[in-house]
């Protein structure tokens, strides 16, 4: 299956599952649920859930065990976007080509929709019919990856780094936490869903860390070379905000070379899975080569 088709196929399944896990709106919290739906449904490439689904498949697991994990990861991603866009954070008016959640629903409801999505992520994950010990492993992974040393921690390094030149180590630590941790968690949760053995988990970890890096370097490149319509969000923002990026630190060509090197590392790490991991190989190339 070509990679775009695999992503679309998984994305449709995830979209349906998200619909099922989202609460019904016939209650006093209808506005809140509307805001949660607005940010969660109908957009995004669903890369993180795809990683969870694919790793579970490659390791021989069942889709019903992993789907709650995949949806939980996407809910955390969605909550992070809502909070990132708030005026006290990045103050972004647009997201995925439409008004950001607080522009559409107001700040208070956006804040609460983000909060509620994080709780819902755990509620959803915990519905997995996988063995309790496996569900606990996945919940621990999600809690750590979303927290102070993971996604939120990366945001803090990002805030600290505004308007100043930062070094490679700091940039790498920021991205490993801010975007890398959840990409890694998604992939590993795919392995947990089926009780994958240590060797598989190690291969998965190496792959996910490297595509996380490649993904971020590519993000920095796209901010320079793409346009707002293709990207679905403002471009040139990094240089306006005087942010250090792989491009400002190393230049465009070297950044492209780095994205390629991380991608190769990722693909090499999949060796233990043989041909079963072909989709994951294609996904790595796709992410480094994407246009938005």
Contact residues toward its own copies (CB under 8 A) are: 23, 27-29, 31-33, 36, 83, 86, 88-89, 106-109, 111-112, 114-116, 118-120, 122-123, 126, 132-133, 135-136, 139-140, 142-144, 146-150, 152-153, 155-157, 159-160, 170, 173
Give the gyration radius of the chain's Cα atoms. Answer: 18
Number of Cβ within 10 Å of residue 267's Cβ equals: 19
Minimum distance from CB of 75 to its own copies (Å)? Answer: 11
Minimum distance from CB of 227 to its own copies (Å)? Answer: 29
Minimum distance from CB of 148 to its own copies (Å)? Answer: 4
Bridge partners, 95 (sequence order): 98
CB closer to its own copies, 144 vs 252 = 144
Minimum distance from CB of 155 to its own copies (Å)? Answer: 6
Minimum distance from CB of 177 to its own copies (Å)? Answer: 8
Question: What's the distance, CA 227 to chain centroid?
Answer: 22
Side-chain-side CA neighbours of residue 224 (13 Å): 18
Report the C-alpha gap between 214 and 284 in whole angstroms: 8
Report the C-alpha gap between 25 and 17 in whole angstroms: 17
Contacts of 16 (CB under 8 A, 6+ apart): none
Residue that is written with structure tokens 């739906």 in the block = 37
Distances (CA, A) of 219 to 44, 87, 171, 207, 265: 14, 22, 13, 18, 18
Minimum distance from CB of 251 to its own copies (Å)? Answer: 26
Contact 14, 152 (CB under 8 A): no
Which token pair is 188?
Answer: 């590993």
Closest CA to 102 of 118, 81, 74: 81
Which token pair is 175?
Answer: 């991205």
CB closer to its own copies, 34 vs 282 = 34
Contact 105, 38 (CB under 8 A): yes
Minimum distance from CB of 146 to its own copies (Å)? Answer: 5
Minimum distance from CB of 20 to its own copies (Å)? Answer: 15
CB closer to its own copies, 226 vs 244 = 244
Which token pair is 152?
Answer: 């939120």
Residue that is written with structure tokens 């990861």 in the block = 73
CB closer to its own copies, 42 vs 129 = 129
């Amino acid at each position: 299956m070509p990679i775009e088709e695999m992503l679309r196929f998984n994305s449709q399944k995830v979209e349906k599952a998200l619909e099922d896990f989202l609460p019904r709106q016939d209650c006093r919290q209808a506005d809140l649920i509307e805001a949660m739906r607005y940010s969660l449904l109908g957009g995004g490439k669903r890369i993180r859930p795809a990683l969870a689904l694919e790793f579970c498949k490659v390791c021989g697991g069942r889709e019903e065990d992993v789907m709650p994990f995949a949806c939980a990861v996407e809910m955390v991603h969605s909550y992070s976007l809502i909070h990132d866009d708030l005026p006290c954070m990045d103050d972004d008016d647009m997201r995925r080509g439409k008004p950001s959640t607080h522009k559409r629903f107001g700040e208070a409801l956006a804040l609460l929709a983000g909060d509620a999505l994080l709780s819902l992520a755990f509620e959803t994950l915990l519905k997995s019919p996988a063995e309790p010990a496996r569900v606990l492993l996945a919940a621990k992974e999600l809690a750590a990856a979303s927290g102070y040393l993971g996604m939120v921690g990366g945001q803090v390094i990002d805030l600290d780094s505004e308007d100043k030149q930062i070094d490679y180590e700091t940039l790498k630590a920021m991205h490993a936490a801010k975007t890398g941790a959840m990409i890694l968690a998604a992939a590993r949760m795919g392995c947990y869903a089926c009780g994958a053995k240590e060797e598989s988990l190690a291969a998965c970890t190496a792959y996910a860390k490297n595509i996380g890096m490649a993904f971020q370097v590519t993000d920095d490149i796209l901010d320079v070379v793409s346009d707002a319509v293709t990207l679905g969000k403002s471009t040139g923002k990094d240089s306006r905000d005087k942010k250090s990026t792989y491009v400002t630190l190393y230049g465009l060509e070297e950044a492209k070379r780095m994205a390629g090197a991380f991608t190769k590392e990722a693909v090499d790490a999949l060796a233990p899975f043989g041909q079963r991991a072909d989709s994951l190989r294609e996904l790595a190339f796709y992410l480094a080569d994407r246009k938005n």
